Structure 1
Amino acid sequence: MIKVMVVDDDKLVRKGLISAMPWQNFDMEVVGEASNGEKALEFLQSNTVDLLLTDLAMPVMSGIELIKRVRKEFTHIYIVVLTLHQDFEYIQEALRLGAIDYIAKVQLEKERFEEVLERIYNRIAQEQKRAANLNEVYTSDQGYALLSLNNDVGDYWVEEWCEHANQLMIEVDSNLWLWTQPVEQSSELWLERLAHEVNTKSGWALIKLIGLYGRPHKDVHRWLREYREKDFFYDYDLDSSMGSILLQEWGCLRQVQSEKSINDLKEQWSSYEWIYQDSLFKQHIDALKMMRLPQAKLFGLLYTLIDKWNLLFYPVSLVKIQLLDSFDFWYQVDEWLINTRNMIRNAMDKPTFSQEVMESIVKAVYIAQEEMNQQITAVNIAKRVNMSRSYFSQCFKEIVGMNFSDYLRQVRIEKAKMFLLYTNKTILWIAENVGYMDEKYFSRTFREQTDMLPSKYRQTLGTGREMSDK
């Protein structure tokens, strides 16, 4: 007997479901009800439930939060979502979290009770069979994973292909399938046709798996889900119909990256040499890809680099670098980096100045940004970039739009503003860390540039901002 619980904040919906559905016809029995997620969890703590029917939009605790808690604390319970048609995004989220099906409430209004319960009963039977299969081990050594990162694209076409080809695929997750039928002569043709079909689907990939033999189904399924989440982003090849994974080696290249290694890479990208040196640019790209950072962390790193690049290159190119809204795969990051580099180089390609001169001025800007806390002058900077004092000053002013001393002052004051707004550091500490050894001179220069003393600037503009002691 399948023990059922109904959770919905609408009492009429609960009572209607409990009284009208033909539970007994499908070996089911309603053993409990609740008006919100918290009460449902209280009931589950002391009662046996096999099937949970829950609404999504409820007070106190939403259906989504309830599903998360149940999947974590009561892993044996099957979950079906009660919803309205307009809750489609929530339905997708619920299915991703592990719900096996959903019931649109309009179906209940049409009294399609028998059909609804039969569908749920069959889904539970499928899940039970699938769970039993997960404990089995593979008897063949190779298979094929069919996957997509784009959860907005339906995978209904996979079932149609399987039916037409008389082939069996296991649905591991949303938009993630596994085909393990031995490759005999009869199925080789279908493999070619599947590869061709995949090429017509944007964002889909077919990957050959080697090393399945003797591995439990559940382990392979878990690996596949992890692979799609962590590695598929980097491995997807727009021009290749099929990739290949040797399971014994998968994951060996991906290592937990220390903050030091990430900071080292950030420092390399924060410099300017990669703009002109092709081999160095390629090394930086390869190193970034090899890190295989989670996408959120990769985006955060790129945002940080863009801030640095705009400070470094905008003064000499007047080009503002922007990040795309999203990247679905690594090759798009690669293309964006190449396009960004070309854009900067083209903007800095000034007919009146040689590439060597432009490199020298970019280097001077870099030094001003990185060493503003030190005592630097146009004289020693000119020497460091291998230019005469007079020619350096002339070129710097024509390219950047102001002389080096004015630019250095501007950089220092902008950095001081950041310290004032986002740290609790003293005025003396800030003055010294932007290159002014005399606090009074710093305060006078700051007021000349902003019409406010540093303390007044912090008091006026820093109110309500989160401060850091660092």
Structure 2
Amino acid sequence: MYKVLIIDDDKLARKGLISMVPWEKCGMTVVGDVANGLLGLNFLKTQEVDLAVVDLSMPVLSGLDFIRESRKTYPKLQYVALSFHEDFEYVQSALRLGALDYISKLRMEEEDCTEIFQRIGKIMGKTDEISHATIEAEELTVINPEGFEPEQFEKMLASWQGCRWVYDEGLFIQKVDEVVKSPISLRQMERLLMLISQEIERVFQFTNRVPFLSKKSEGVDWLTGCYENLYGIIDSITDFSVLPVCMLYAVKYIKEHLTERLKVETVAQKVNMSRSYFSTSFKNVTGYTFNDFVRYERVELAKKLLQQRKVKPSEVAEAVGYEDSKYFSHIFLTQTGVNCSEYIKQMSSKLKKDEDY
């Protein structure tokens, strides 16, 4: 049984969590609960603890400071962060310091805490099998011949923040491909997915819990499923008060109507915005102006149609919503560096190389 210490300045929250989770079923037992990080450090001096469930915002000694201090003396201690929705920056810091997961205190009754702690137990069991774990000053990293060095891993984490990839399928595919080809370890993959999950919850208020991973491909499947789920639920949205949700709805509408004549006024009306406010917001959130995004997505659609041999180069302009084929050819060349015929040749050559390989 893993020994659990719960640290939270809210006594009712501590007692609620203790009663809510079937600890024995998760392979755990609660050995204590205290009101702040300093009391937590004192508890560790007299009791053996495997997992600390830590509220990040506490008086005397915060959860983050508790993690930093306890890691110096108890390198094998693992952590789960408790947070409110407004504590997202703290959650990201906790995950970077090595926390295995986080639980939203506002959604604690909605979330399946049993599943969360069962997953954490599996991760801890897996971590116990690794004999060459090491603690760095500000980064917990499992030394693995297939793992990133801390600085490389930090760059990958930063590259997924902001959720701009949600609006750009091409960027998403590129980033997933980078993960697939990278030396990321399973432990690092789990932490990357937790940060992405937390970022998605912050931006879109959509929760998609990270599973226990037994192989890298499961993490890739989670990323793909998460991306598809976001677009899947967006049609049911009726509350357009959250700006990123509005922009995702607009992006989905644009992608579904690329073959039609698209006007910014029409799309702005779909999300109950004025033309000027929508245009400014769209650029800020997606990184594209409305017209640039439409052009970009039409070229991406043209590339897919050409790859699938669904249209001839002479027909592709009309198939993606352009009446002027010469104008489209100019846009395609500008965006891809080649014309449509050359693009088909490149894809055929690449396909042949892949088959030979």
Q: Higher RCO, 1 or 2 (CA under 8 Å, sep at least 6)?
A: 2
Q: Which TM-score applies when normalising by structure 1?
A: 0.32
The structure with more radius of gyration: 1
